[in-house]
Chain A
Amino acid sequence: MEYVAAALLGFAGGMLGGLVGVGGGVLFVPALVIFLDQSQVHAEATSLLAIAFVALLGAWRQRGYGNVRVRDGVVLGVVSPLGVAAGVVVSNAVSERTLELLFAALVLVIAAQLLRRALRPAVPRETAGWVGKEGGQ
Chain B
Amino acid sequence: MARDRILKLVAIATAAGMFSGLFGVGGGTIIVPLLIFWLAYGEREATGTSLAAIVIIASYATVGQALYGNVDVPLAALVGTPALVGVVAGTALQQRIPERAVALLFAALLVATAIELIIP
Contact = CB atoms under 8 A, between A and B. Distances in A.
Interface residues of A, number: 112
Contact of A129 (B9, B21, B43, B116): B43
Contacts of B100: 118-119, 131
A101 B18 CA distance: 17
Contact of A25 (B25, B51, B53): B25
Interface in B1-50: 1, 6, 9-10, 12-26, 28-29, 31-32, 35, 39, 41-45, 47-50
Nearest to A90: B22
Chain A contact residues, majority secondary structure: helix
Interface of A: 3, 6-34, 36, 38, 41-59, 61-63, 65, 67-70, 72-92, 97, 99-115, 117-119, 126-136
Interface of B: 1, 6, 9-10, 12-26, 28-29, 31-32, 35, 39, 41-45, 47-62, 64-66, 68, 70-73, 75-95, 99-104, 106-107, 109-111, 113-114, 116-118, 120
22 contacts: A7-B82, A10-B78, A10-B80, A12-B86, A14-B82, A15-B90, A27-B110, A28-B79, A38-B75, A41-B65, A45-B65, A46-B70, A48-B65, A52-B59, A65-B44, A77-B54, A78-B56, A80-B16, A84-B64, A106-B25, A111-B111, A114-B107
